[in-house]
């Protein structure tokens, strides 16, 4: 497989105050929501993770949006509260800007299981992919992705363990989960793929 790739570029508006997230091996981290508007007007509200040092160095300017260059991160939530797989964006670079909204992702990784092809209630074909993307220090991020239409049909034929490269956006998707007689509003985070290709073992060509 080609070297793992995990690149996210976001440009949006801060949608809430930062709060403490966790302590890592190199210090404390904080999280805040970033709202990124699509062309349709719908907003994806994404959880951004920043270090204490980044927070201290970030000067609030009279500019409407924040640009972030970072990586998609995942971790397993064992508390029993909230989603079991938590998806965030770890910021590497931050700057305030007047640029337009932006939400782009490029990932290269390995399929953890065979994709499943299904249809939405509106009849659209969709394929679910779980991509494992290695980090530099031996750990991996497990990132849920979805593909649509012709891309979904092609991806449905790929096998577990295949190397895949894709581009798309990070999206937040609200849904209703019914447990017993109680219905609860939930939010899922995933990569909506615009392109997806299986990487050949020798020349890196897509199939």
Question: Mean of the pLDDT values across residues 203-207?
Answer: 40
pLDDT in tens, 122-144: 899 999 999 999 998 778 999 99
Spell out a b/e string for 85-108, using b for 16 or more CB atoms within 10 Å of the CB, else e: eebbbbbeebebeeeebbbebebb
CATH class given for the domain over 5-103: mainly beta
Q: What is the mean pLDDT of residues 94-98?
A: 94
> For 16-30, how does the pLDDT look when each residue is reduced to its tens digit (9 = 90+)?
999 999 998 889 999
Ranges of each domain in the chain: 5-103, 106-198
Q: 3-state secondary structure string, 22-38? A: EEECCEEEEEEEEEEEC
Give me the pLDDT at residue 174, please: 85
Q: What is the CATH number of domain 106-198?
A: 2.40.50.140
Same fold, 5-103 and 106-198: yes
Which of 58-62, 88-92, 131-135 comes out lowest in average pLDDT?
Answer: 58-62
> Cα separation of 150 and 154, whole Å?
6
pTM of this structure: 0.88
Q: What pLDDT is recorded for position 81?
A: 62
Q: What is the pLDDT of residues 170-194, one digit of tens each?
A: 999 888 877 777 888 888 999 999 9
């Amino acid at each position: 497989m080609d070297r793992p790739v995990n690149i996210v570029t976001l440009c949006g508006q801060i949608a809430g105050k930062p709060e403490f997230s966790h302590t890592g091996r190199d210090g404390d981290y904080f999280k805040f929501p970033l709202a990124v508007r699509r062309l349709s007007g719908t907003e994806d509200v994404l959880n951004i993770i920043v270090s204490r040092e980044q927070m201290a160095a970030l000067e609030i300017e009279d500019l409407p949006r924040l640009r972030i260059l970072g990586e998609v991160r995942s971790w397993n939530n064992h508390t029993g509260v909230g989603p079991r797989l938590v998806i965030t964006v770890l910021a590497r670079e931050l700057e305030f800007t007047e640029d337009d909204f932006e939400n782009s992702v490029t990932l290269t990784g390995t399929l953890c299981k065979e994709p499943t092809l299904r249809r939405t209630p509106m009849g659209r074909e969709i394929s679910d992919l779980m991509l494992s993307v290695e980090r530099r220090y031996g750990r991996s991020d497990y990132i849920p992705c979805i593909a649509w239409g012709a891309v979904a049909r092609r991806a449905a034929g790929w096998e577990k363990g295949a190397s895949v490269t894709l581009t798309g956006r990070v999206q937040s998707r609200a849904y209703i989960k019914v447990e017993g007689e109680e219905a609860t509003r939930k939010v899922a985070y995933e990569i909506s793929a615009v392109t997806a290709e299986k990487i050949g073992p020798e020349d890196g060509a897509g199939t």
